[in-house]
Amino acid sequence: MSCEERVETKTKVWAWCSGWLSIPYPCRKVKTELWYQYEFHKTRYVPSWFPFWEIREGCCDNIVYEWRRYVFWNTPKPFGWSYHEVPVIKLFRNKLESNGVCPPRGSGEVAIS
C-alpha cells in the first residue's frame, strides 16, 4: 500500500513555440511534475449542500483522507463506505489532509470489485 508516495507524472501543457521565421505559435509540450499517489481500499461520498463540489473520502493505511473536485452539478449519492476488492489508485498534485482513523469493516459496507 502506498499513501503520499511521490510519483513523477508527465502532463501536457500549453506553451509558446517558435516556428518558421521565429514567429511564436501556441503548442502542446510535455512537462514532468511530482504528484502524490494514494491507494484507497474504502471510499465514500460525503453529503454536501454545495451544488458544484463533490466531496469524497478514502481509507489508505487505515487513515481517512478527503478530497473534492468541481462538478457541473452535484447529484445525491449514497454516502456509506464502499469496500473495493481491487484498490482504487488516485493521483493528486498536493498532499491530502487526514481526517482521522478509518472505521472498521462492518456489515453496512458495500463490496465493489
pLDDT bucket at 40, cuts 50 / 70 / 90: very high
pLDDT bucket at 108, cuts 50 / 70 / 90: low
* Residues 6+ positions from 106 with CB-CB distance below 8 Å: none
Q: What percent of the chain has pLDDT over 70?
A: 89
Domain with 70 in it: 35-112
- For residue 19, being part of any structural domain is answered with no
pTM of the complete model: 0.74
- For residue 13, being part of any structural domain is answered with no
Q: Which residues pair with residue 90 across a beta bridge?
A: 38
Q: What is the mean pLDDT of the chain?
A: 85
- For residue 55, being part of any structural domain is answered with yes
Cα dihedral 68, 58, 95, 100, rounded to 10, equals: 110
Count how many domains the chain has. 1
- For residue 72, being part of any structural domain is answered with yes
pLDDT over 90 at 19, yes or no: no
pLDDT reported for residue 102: 87
